[in-house]
Structure 1
C-alpha cells in the first residue's frame, strides 16, 4: 500500500510520517512545498523528511504521479480544501487533519468533491480510539448511565505557536484555541450521541493569559452546546498548560446520566513520578498510540461494524459548525442556533 503525507505544517505530520514508515506493507512518500514559507527555526520540507528518514517529493503532484492508495493532509487549516480536492480528482482516499476546514463553504465543498469522486474522506480525530472513550461509549450505549443529562469536557494544551507559528495566525488557522480544541470533544459527542444533533451554541473567549505576548487570537474559551436529545455539554478549549508542563495537553470528560456519573481521561495511561537529577516532575506514558490506531483503521478498516469508526467528512463538518457557531456567539454575546 502506498500512502502520501501532504505537508508538514501540522504538529502531527511528523508523527504520521514515522508511523507510516514503520508499518508493514506500507510505502510512504512525503511532500511539503510550502515549507519554505515557515518562520526561521521551524524545520520543514526536505530537511524534516531527511531527519525523519522518509522519502520526499518536491511537489504534491509528484506524490499523486507516484500512485498512492491514500494520502494524509496535514497542511494549515485553511489550506485543507485544495489538497483534499486534489486527492478527490485523482481518485485517492484522504485522511484530513482537524478541523476539516475554516469555513462551512470549504468543508461542504470538500465533502461534495469526495462524494462525487467516490473516495473516502476521513477526519483525524484520534481520541475516538482511546480505550477510556471506548469504555465510556459502552456505558452510555449499553444503558448503564441512563439518559445523558450533562457533559463537562476539557481539552487543554500548551500554546502551539512555539512549534508552528501558524496556529496563532487567524488567516491560516481560522482562529485560536476555540478552533483548535473545541472540535475534538464536539466530535466525541457527535459519535457518542448517534443521531442526536447540536442545536444551540453559546461561547465566551479571551486572551488574558497571552495578551502581553502579542498573541492575536483567543487562547482560552468555554463553549456550551445544547443537543436535541436534551443533553447540555460544556467544553473548556483553552491553551492553558504552562510551557514546561510534562505533557502537551489532555482531554477529559465527566458525563452525568440519570443512573450514573462516569469520567474519562483520554491520556491517563501514565506513570507519574519525580526526577531528582533534574528536580522536576515526570509523566511516562505507557498506553495506546491513538494516532496509530486511527491511521490503521483508516487504511485497513475495522472488523466490527459496531466499533468506533474514523470520523467521516460529514462528522467533520458537524464539529466545524459547532466551532464556527462558538465564534459567532462570542462576538455577539448571545446563543447561536444551528440549522438542521
Structure 2
C-alpha cells in the first residue's frame, strides 16, 4: 500500500517515517517543501538520511495516488493539507491538534466525509494496554463512578528542536495547545465523548529556556475542567522538563472513583541509572511503541476502508477544551464549552 507523509515540521515526523520505512507492506513517499533551504533536519536532507523516497512538493506526492496520507505539518497548515489529501482520495492521519480553530476542524471533517475517506487524529496514548486496563476498571465497576481525574503531560519545550512550536501563528498557542489534548483524549475515552461544561485555565511564560527571545506563547499551564455530573478534572500541560531531563516527556493519569483509585503512567522507566559520560540520569523506557500501535490501526482502516478512531470528531471535541482554555486565559474567568465554540461563563 502506498503511503505519503506530508511535511517534516512536527517532531513526530521522523519517527513515523522510520516506522513506515521498515514495513514490507508499505511503499512510502515523503515531501517537505516548506522546509528552510539547507536545513539538515528537514527536507530532502532528512529524507536522504532516513533512506526514503522524496518528492518535490505536496502535489507531486499526492499525484502518485497514495491510499493513505499522514499530515505532520505545522498546526495551522493542517486544514489545507487534509483538504488536498481528501480531494486525492486518501485516508488521512493528522497530527494533533486536528486544527487550531473550530471552523478549520469542521471544514476538515466535512472535506473527508464528502470525499468518502476517513480522518484520524494522532492520539497514540489511548492505544496503551495499561490505559485499556484502566478503562476496564471503570467499565466493570471496580473503580466506581469517577469523582476526579488528574492528568499530567509534561515535556521539554519542543521549540528547542522545532522553533515554530513557540510561534502563535503556526502553532495556535503554546503549552496549552500542545499538551492539553492527549489528556483530553483520554478523558474523552473514559467519559464516552462527554465534553466538560466549563474550563478554567491559568498559564505563564516562566519556563522559557535561558537565552530564548521574549516568549510569545505560554510555557506552563494548568486547566480545571468541570462536568455536568460533578466530575472535576485537572490537566497540567507544561513544558516543564529541562533539556537535561532523562526523558523527553511523560504522561500520567490519576483517577479517583467512589470505590478505588487507579493510576496510569504511559512512559514508566523500565530501568534507571546514571550516565557517567554525560553526567546525567538515564531512563530506559518500557518497550511499548505507541506510535507503532497507532499506525497499525490507521493503516488497517485505510486498507479496509473502515472508519478509523480516534476520528476527526474526537479531534474536534478535544480541541474545544484547548480553545476554551484560551478563552479563559483571555478573560480570567471559566469558559463555557459548547458545540459551536466557547464563551464566557
Kept in 1, the 8 Å contact 2:268–2:286? The answer is no
The answer to whether structure 1 residue 196 and structure 2 residue 194 are counterparts is: yes
Partner SS for 1:146: coil
Corresponding residue for residue 27 of structure 2:
27
CA distance, structure 1, for counterparts of residue 194 and residue 94 of structure 2: 24
Is the 1:196–1:229 Cα contact (8 Å) retained in structure 2?
no
Q: Judge conservation of contact 1:125–1:310 (CA < 8 Å) in 2.
A: no
Separation of aligned partners in 2, 1:196 and 1:156: 24
The 5-angstrom pairing of residues 117-128 of structure 1 reads: 117-128=115-126
Does residue 330 (structure 1) correspond to residue 329 (structure 2)? The answer is yes
Residues 26-76 of structure 1: per-residue CA shift (max 9 Å, x gap): 110000010126xx7562110010011110000111111111010000000
The question of whether the paired residues in 1 share the 8 Å contact of 2:267 and 2:286 is answered with no
**Structure 1 residue aligned with 2:52:** 54
- SS class of match (2:287): coil
Distance, in Å, in 1 between the alignment partners of 2:196 and 2:75 is: 23
State the TM-score, normalized to the length of structure 1: 0.94
Aligned counterpart, 2:285: 285
CA distance in 1, matches of 2:221, 2:145: 27
Return the alpha-carbon distance in structure 1 between the equivalents of residues 78 and 286 of structure 2: 32
Paired position in structure 1 for 2:230: 230
Give the direction of change, closer, same or farther, for the CA distance of 1:242–1:25 in structure 2 (3 Å limit). same
- Quote the residue 1:252 is aligned against: 252
The answer to whether the 8 A contact 2:196-2:321 is kept is: yes
Counterpart-to-counterpart distance in 1, 2:116 and 2:248: 37
Q: Write the distance in 2 (CA, Å) between the matches of 1:211 and 1:8.
A: 24
Judged with a 3 Å threshold, the aligned counterparts in structure 2 of structure 1 residues 56 and 184 are, in CA distance, closer, same or farther, namely same
Shift of 1:326: 0.0
Paired with 2:75 and 2:284, the residues of 1 have a C-alpha distance of 31
Kindly tell me the number of residue pairs found equivalent between the two proteins.
332
Structure 2 residue runs without a partner (length 5+) = 303-307, 340-345
Residue equivalent to 1:86: 84
1:196 positional shift = 2.2
- 1:142 CA drift (Å): 1.5
In structure 1, distance between residues paired with 2:190 and 2:267 = 18
**1:42–1:164: 8 Å Cα contact kept in structure 2?**
no
Question: Which residue of the partner structure matches residue 306 of structure 1?
Answer: none
Q: Deviations over 1:93-130 (max 9, x none)?
A: 00000000111110110011111111000000110111
- 1:99 matched residue in structure 2: 97
Compared CA separation, residues 277 and 75, structure 1 to 2 (3 A): closer
1:108 aligned residue:
106
Question: Which residue of structure 1 aligns with residue 142 of structure 2?
Answer: 144
User: Structure 1: 5+ residue runs without aligned partners?
Assistant: 303-308
2:127 to 126, 129, 143: 129
1:305 corresponding residue in structure 2: none
RMSD: 1.6
Instruction: Pick the aligned partner of 1:64 from 57, 62, 65.
Output: 62
- Give me the whole-angstrom Cα distance separating, in 2, the residues matched to 1:161 and 1:54: 26
Between the aligned partners of 1:301 and 1:271, the Cα distance in structure 2 is: 35
8 Å contact kept, 1:124–1:310: no
Return the alpha-carbon distance in structure 2 between the equivalents of residues 31 and 229 of structure 1: 47
The corresponding residue for 1:14 is 14
Shift of 1:323: 0.1
Tell me the alpha carbon deviations over residues 271-322 of structure 1, each in whole angstroms, 9 at most, x when there is no partner. Answer: 11123344321111232100000001111149xxxxxx73100000011111
* 1:140 alignment partner, SS class: helix
